[in-house]
């Protein structure tokens, strides 16, 4: 069963993380057992404080949800070891109706691929019309391998584990003809296959052939075994007739001699779209899939590219693809739970889209539990409280609604947490301007927007006082401009909010014509004072989009 990921935006804040955990819990409790909380960005000190306070682990990190090889590959690997015989491989391929088989060593590293086509060419080689070659009668195996392949018994064995090249000879002729034929080949390489021809057996032993294979399940006489031991001739018995035994001998070769050592492999986390053309245009039919340490974790065939990927998403605390996890446009989005403006996001079919003008996504999630009469565990209630007070600055933000106030009271009771006291601890738990380098501080809670095909970003940092900001304003401006330029945004803004005075400072870099439209009091170049402005969503974003429209129209502000 595939997971349904409940996931927030790329630079998650407390509300995004807590609502993802909470809504995944709600979905599991209402029948969606495959719902899993996820995140596509790092947590910060305040989020870590919240999670630790309520004993909840952070959602698992997912950087990219685009279809991967691991989504469609065959995880159950049917394989053979390099020392396995061709007969072993053929038996497995016949049982499982396979045309290709990977050869894996002890460490699960792929040594090559074994194809039915190459095996058949080896086992049934074309007859050489020019003579001088014995390719149709060559056997490469150890004596113990021969005995195993034949389901026989090694009665007399000398150096039976050594792999060697043997020449197959059938003792199905007159004694004189056989003796004459023996002289044409080196005795130490001969593998003589014979039935109950005692005369042929004795001549072969007398001439010192490498191995004598007696077919038909015939018992070998003690005097023959004694002679074989004396002349250091190995003896194998086969339960099969001579013709079957002879054909099986070539199948005793280890697969390491007949595999294709050239093959194309991929990493399990590689996007399907990135490897599709290379795989489909190659001459290979299957591709080993490698894990992080090079071990084989699956097999990908060309037909696997036709499989549908069943990964699904539930977006929380945002509804714009520009803010969503990488690859969100390639998988199915089944629900959206949000409290922001509605962006340009199209779906292929109708979905559950719950968007409410409240102060926090956690308000909506908690309401889902209450409205449907679903038990809300104490720890999850605590997370919902944390997300709500974080986004509404404990109900002091202009985004706060009566619904937020009502929900927060219920959450205080269920979690047994005082919202005011917890808010003080929350905002004291981590100062980005104290703990983080400037490039990280200006992008930690950064959201990307698009207005009339113009892309821009707005980040927010919540602090207790502006002391640290004024100490670092120059490096913050430089980091913000570096970030903007690297992504070619029209402008990038950073709202630094003092939660104690309910006022903010705005840093803006980018298009000069746009910046000239900003009418807030300018404290320094690129820095503006915004009294009574604390909400990015409800106060700042509408103002910035207004300035953008005015710039486009060329009207003076």
Residue 493 vs residues 359, 439, 460, 535, 541: alpha-carbon distances, Å: 21, 13, 8, 13, 10
Got the DSSP string for 154-200? EEE-SSTT--EEEEEEE--S-HHHHHHHHTTS-GGGEEEEESS-HHH
Provide the pLDDT confidence category of residue 487 given band limits of 50, 70 and 90. Answer: very high
Provide the pLDDT confidence category of residue 53 given band limits of 50, 70 and 90. Answer: very high
Q: Is the pLDDT of residue 557 over 60?
A: no
What CA–CA distance (Å, rounded) separates 361 from 316? Answer: 7
Q: What is the mean pLDDT of residues 228-244?
A: 95
Q: What is the pTM of this model?
A: 0.64
> How would you class 56 by CB atoms within 10 Å of its CB: exposed for 0-12, middle for 13-18, buried for 19 or more?
buried
Residue 155, pLDDT score? 94
pLDDT digits (tens, 9 = 90+) for 131-174: 444 566 888 899 999 999 999 999 999 999 999 999 999 998 88
Query: Residue 451: which H helix or E strand, with range?
Result: strand 446-451
Residue 62, pLDDT score? 93
Residue 128, pLDDT score? 57
Give the number of other CB atoms < 10 A from CB of residue 181.
Answer: 14
| Averaged pLDDT score across all residues of the chain | 91
What CA–CA distance (Å, rounded) separates 3 from 169? Answer: 61
Residue 135, pLDDT score? 64
CATH topology assigned to domain 432-553: Diaminopimelate Epimerase; Chain A, domain 1 (3.10.310)
Residue 127, pLDDT score? 59
Provide the pLDDT confidence category of residue 284 given band limits of 50, 70 and 90. Answer: confident
Provide the pLDDT confidence category of residue 334 given band limits of 50, 70 and 90. Answer: very high
What is the rounded radius of gyration, in angstroms, for the C-alpha atoms of the chain?
37
Query: Residue 237: which H helix or E strand, with range?
Result: strand 234-237
Residue 142, pLDDT score? 92
What are the domain boundaries of the chain? 4-67+310-428, 70-120+264-306, 125-256, 432-553
pLDDT digits (tens, 9 = 90+) for 364-412: 999 999 999 999 999 999 999 999 999 999 998 889 999 999 999 999 9
Q: Is the pLDDT of residue 554 over 90?
A: no
Residue 133, pLDDT score? 46
Residue 124, pLDDT score? 74
CATH topology assigned to domain 125-256: 3.40.1390
The pLDDT > 90 percentage for the chain reads 70
Q: What is the mean pLDDT of residues 412-431?
A: 91
Q: What is the mean pLDDT of residues 529-543?
A: 93
Provide the pLDDT confidence category of residue 126 given band limits of 50, 70 and 90. Answer: low
The class level of CATH for 4-67+310-428 reads alpha beta
pLDDT digits (tens, 9 = 90+) for 178-223: 988 998 999 999 999 999 999 999 999 999 999 999 999 999 999 9
CATH topology assigned to domain 70-120+264-306: CBS-domain (3.10.580)
What CA–CA distance (Å, rounded) separates 56 from 50? Answer: 9
Q: Is the pLDDT of residue 11 over 80?
A: yes
Least confident range from 127-136, 255-264, 432-441, 507-516: namely: 127-136
CB 362 within 8 A of CB 337: no
What CA–CA distance (Å, rounded) separates 470 from 528? Answer: 13
Provide the pLDDT confidence category of residue 39 given band limits of 50, 70 and 90. Answer: very high
What CA–CA distance (Å, rounded) separates 133 from 243? Answer: 21
Q: Is the pLDDT of residue 7 over 70?
A: yes
Residue 556, pLDDT score? 45
């Amino acid at each position: 069963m595939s997971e349904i990921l409940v996931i927030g935006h790329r630079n998650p804040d407390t509300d995004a993380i807590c609502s993802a955990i909470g809504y995944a819990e709600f979905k599991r409790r209402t029948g969606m057992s495959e719902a899993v909380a996820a995140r596509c960005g790092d947590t910060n000190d305040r989020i870590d404080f919240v999670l630790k306070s309520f004993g909840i682990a952070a959602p698992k990190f997912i950087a990219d949800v685009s279809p991967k090889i691991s989504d469609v590959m065959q995880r159950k690997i049917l394989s053979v070891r390099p020392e396995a015989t061709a007969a072993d491989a053929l038996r497995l391929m016949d049982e499982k109706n396979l045309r290709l088989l990977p050869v894996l060593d002890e460490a699960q590293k792929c040594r090559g691929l074994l194809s039915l086509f190459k095996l058949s060419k080896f086992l049934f080689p074309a007859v050489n019309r020019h003579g001088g070659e014995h390719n149709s009668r060559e056997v490469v195996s150890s004596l113990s391998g021969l005995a195993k392949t034949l389901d026989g018994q090694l009665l007399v064995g000398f150096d039976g584990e050594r792999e060697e090249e043997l020449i197959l000879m059938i003792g199905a002729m007159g004694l004189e003809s056989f003796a004459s034929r023996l002289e044409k080949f080196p005795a130490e390489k001969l593998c003589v296959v014979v039935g109950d021809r005692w005369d042929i057996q004795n001549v072969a032993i007398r001439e010192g052939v490498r191995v004598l294979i007696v077919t038909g399940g015939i018992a070998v006489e003690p005097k023959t075994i004694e002679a074989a031991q004396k002349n250091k001739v190995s003896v194998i018995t086969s339960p099969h007739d001579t013709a079957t035994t002879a054909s099986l001998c070539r199948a005793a070769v280890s697969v390491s001699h007949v595999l294709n050592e050239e093959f194309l492999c991929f990493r399990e986390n590689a996007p399907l779209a990135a490897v599709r053309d290379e795989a489909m245009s190659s001459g290979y039919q299957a591709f080993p899939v490698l894990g992080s340490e090079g071990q084989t974790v699956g097999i990908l065939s060309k037909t696997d590219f036709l499989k549908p990927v069943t990964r699904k998403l539930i977006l929380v605390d945002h509804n714009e693809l520009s803010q969503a996890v990488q690859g969100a446009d390639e998988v199915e989005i089944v629900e959206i739970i949000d409290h922001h403006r509605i962006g340009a996001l199209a779906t292929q079919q109708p979905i559950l889209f719950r968007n409410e003008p409240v102060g926090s996504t956690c308000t909506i999630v908690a309401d889902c539990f209450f409205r449907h009469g679903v038990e809300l565990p104490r720890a999850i209630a605590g997370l919902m409280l944390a997300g709500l007070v974080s986004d509404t600055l404990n109900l002091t933000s202009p985004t706060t609604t009566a619904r937020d106030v009502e929900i927060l009271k219920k959450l205080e009771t269920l979690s047994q947490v005082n919202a005011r006291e917890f808010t003080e601890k929350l905002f004291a738990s981590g100062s980005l301007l104290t703990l983080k380098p400037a490039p990280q501080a200006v992008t930690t809670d950064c959201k990307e927007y698009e207005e009339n095909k113009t892309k821009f970003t707005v980040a927010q940092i919540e602090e207790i006082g502006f002391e640290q900001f004024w100490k670092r304003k120059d490096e913050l401006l430089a980091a913000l401009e570096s970030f903007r330029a690297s992504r070619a945004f029209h402008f990038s803004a950073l709202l630094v909010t003092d939660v104690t005075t309910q006022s903010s400072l705005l840093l803006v870099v980018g298009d000069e014509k746009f910046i000239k439209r900003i009418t807030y009091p300018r404290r320094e170049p690129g820095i503006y004072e915004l009294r009574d402005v604390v909400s990015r969503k409800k106060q700042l974003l509408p103002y910035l989009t207004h300035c953008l429209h005015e710039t486009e129209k060329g009207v003076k502000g």
